[in-house]
Structure 1
């Protein structure tokens, strides 16, 4: 009964759920039409706004560094005498697990190898260095700048101006139209849900691929549905427990396990080669960051490559930015803007660079030892498990990776459920458990419906459809980000 009361008295919640159900119904009953429409719309966004995304990404990076190094960076998220609510270790573990934990497992080997085998542009650099440099580019400063900008603006509104936890709170003093503000929050909710569905569905597909690889069987839809239920139940329990007792604990476990996996591969591979490639690729990334960000001259991979990779990544990071940024803001109370911005930009980027250097360099050496490449690492779902097959304790590594994938998916889902609940529970920092239950159940059923539809319509890749929906919904955020940043800067300069 309480759920029905919530829906009746909460327009933001009821409208968001109604729109999500409407979209799901259209996809379910008009699948082919929906696929074609989404495909056309996503290509239109990338073709006409792809370069705008590039320039926006570079602008976000430069703007955040400028804020961090300016006197504005001394502004504290909270009262002047407040101190960070979470330790640096807990803070980094939570922001990284929420932001892109499962992604680095999905792409650890596949993406560096793809870039090595298909260089984005002609270069005097060795294929190995260029491959890692471009991988760094797609997972580095720009991705975290999208997250960091939202975190900074929302954190300032939340802890300095004492606003509610909503994206619209960042502009409500300047844009007073309630329809406009509610529209921003509804789009945020829709995009967050689509992002979660894509992430969990892809994650369960990788876990199923790992199980099939380990057992030699061909498990199908039933296994993926059971995995979705298991992950959702763990995420619901974590979100029910809250940030301190649930999300923080699982995030710390994730990072410890990921670091153990990383150190094992690092210590059993060519350490000297990895450190050399990591150093060279990182330095080259810093040198080439500006022209790469502008796709300028010889650094232009061409529209086809950009559309398939960089434009897609930028749209994906943009689509995840509001939810991830809000969560980072929520756990950043007591930090200065300088501490938060530099922490978000630098720490996860450097960690990601080292991660890809270890796995990428080790994969390059395996290929060299084989005397050629025959598509062993082409699949994002099985490449990491194939890679581990060349190392001692391969079975243990694969099992650990499966549990780590589940852990990262749980922390992405539980933090998103918590953010969605804050949104729909009047912007409260600690939302009611009824909201957490409602969102957990709704997302679980949506994921299960998507997986079932993907199996029922094998001729149409439903998972790709959901990812392309993110590209479409990222466009309003890209445009809104410019407005939001301008209003934030004006407010800060007036008050400080």
Structure 2
């Protein structure tokens, strides 16, 4: 009965239980409703996502380079709570994780085979440039905006770990504040279950490829249960014992895998492609972000790729941003923002340059391309078949997928528990148990939704669902950014 007095716990869980129940017993009808709603959102708000992404990047750069960037998250004499290595490992594991394995080969090759727009660049460089666009500054700007605003509220204004704390001086209604927190929790959960659904399906695809056997949906469901159980144990141990340790292992193995492919491939071609694509990305960033003129890839392309990615990053922004804020105590806003924007973005660019350029080379050597890398859930495993120790590489990839999913889930469970346990920085363990179980049930429902019809998969279901669930939060982020500027300006005036 005590939980019923906590609306931030009871209402979101009630909603998610209802969602799970409906999807379990009316899977096809649920998918049809989601499909129709996602089309409506795309038609009326698709370009809003683009403008919001560009606005966030420019806004954070201005803040970082302004005097506001000198504000420290904590006491003036305090030093960062975590080393740069641990901080980078945790934010990258939470913020990208299994996605870089899911798309490492498939996305650059798709962009090469289907150029998004006409360009003077070669198909290979354009493919990398557009891949960078979808995984670079914009994604991390969504996370960074949230981390900045929440970190300021948490460590400078000494507020509780709740999204409503960031705007409580401009909104006095307790009902509105609870509504904002509930919206954030639901958005977080949908973004998370989307990642688990995609990740477990890729692991299943890898097992199917390695053993040449169709393990089916039952294995995917079992994998979701296993990952949720490991993540719960990690979240139970806390940030220092569980989350930090697994994050560092993930980044170490990822780096070794990256170096192996880099050293076994055409290193000169990779470095050249990385430099050219990065430079053109920076030059073309604004027109690409606006889909302006010749940079407009068409509505179908935007819907299948960019709108979906922006919705995904927005859905991950609450828990990733709050987690980054939680581990950024002792850093200035400038260090936080430039670190979040630059370090993981260019690390991701190099990742895609290595795998993408190597895949382009394989296609060139084959003389023809018959969609070998076309299946998103098995492309990286097919790719490794062309390298020494393919079986070891494929099993390592599966291990990494599990590790990245665990760190995404455990950090999200920890953040959700902070929300619902009165904004405490170290929430009670029973909240971590409740959220682990809730996330698992909703994930199982999403996997079933992704198998509702023979012509759809989990990725299709996720794309449509996230475009819907992230919209309210996208609108709120505009207000949150304005409230932050107003609050900081008011405080600076009072000091002067």
TM-score, scaled to structure 1: 0.97
Selected match of 1:208 from 188, 204, 207? 204
> Counterpart of 1:471?
467
Counterpart selection for 2:195 from 196, 199, 224: 199
Q: How far, CA to CA, are the matches of 2:370 and 2:452 in structure 1?
A: 31
C-alpha distance 41-99 of structure 1, shift in aligned 2 (>3 A):
same
1:457 is displaced (CA, Å) by 5.5
**Structure 1 match to 2:257:** 261
Q: How far apart, CA to CA, are the structure 2 residues paired with 1:247 and 1:369?
A: 42
Matched, 1:223 2:225: no
SS in structure 2 of the partner of residue 122 of structure 1: coil
Aligned counterpart in structure 1 of residue 357 of structure 2, from 354, 358, 361: 361
Moved more, 71-80 or 290-299: 290-299
1:219-274: per-residue Cα shift (whole Å, max 9, x none)?
Answer: 12332222112211110111000000000000000000000000000000000000
Query: Does the aligned pair in 1 maintain the 2:23–2:449 contact within 8 Å?
Result: no
Give 2:327's aligned residue.
Answer: 331
Cα displacement (A) at 1:444: 1.9
Q: 1:460 to 1:119 in 2, by over 3 A?
A: closer
Aligned partner of 1:168 in structure 2 is: 164
Deviation at 1:482? 0.9
Q: 1:365-416 deviations in whole A, cap 9, x for unaligned?
A: 0000000110000111000000000001111100100000000000000000
Matches within 5 A, 1:135-154: 135-154=131-150
**Structure 1 residue matching 2:374: 3-state secondary structure:** coil
1:15-34 C-alpha deviation (Å, 9 max, x unpaired) = 11111112222222332322
Deviation of the 1:296 alpha carbon: 1.1
Question: CA 1:283–1:218 in structure 2 vs 1: closer, same or farther (change >3 Å)?
Answer: same
Give the superposition deviation at 1:467: 3.8
Cα drift, residue 41 of structure 1? 1.2
Closer/same/farther in 2, CA of residues 110 and 216 from structure 1, 3 Å limit: same
Higher mean Cα deviation, 249-258 or 306-315? 306-315
The count of corresponding residues between Structure 1 and Structure 2 is 492
Contact 2:197 2:458 in 1 (8 A): no
Query: Which residue of the partner structure matches residue 129 of structure 1?
Result: 125
Distance 1:281 1:310 in 2: 18
- For 1:291 and 1:415, locate their aligned partners in 2 and report how far apart those are by CA, in whole Å: 35
Q: Is 2:28–2:449's contact at 8 Å kept on the other side of the alignment? A: no
Structure 2 stretches lacking a partner, 5+ long:
none
Tell me the secondary structure at the aligned position of residue 329 of structure 2: coil
Per-residue deviation, residues 285-312 of structure 1 (Å, max 9, x unmatched): 1111111111111111122211111111
Choose from 69, 74, 82 the match for 1:73.
69
Whole-angstrom CA distance in 2 between matches of 1:450 and 1:308:
19
Range with bigger deviation, 289-298 or 267-276: 289-298
Q: Does 1:404 align with 2:403?
A: no
Q: CA deviation at 1:458?
A: 4.5
5+ long unaligned stretches in structure 1: none
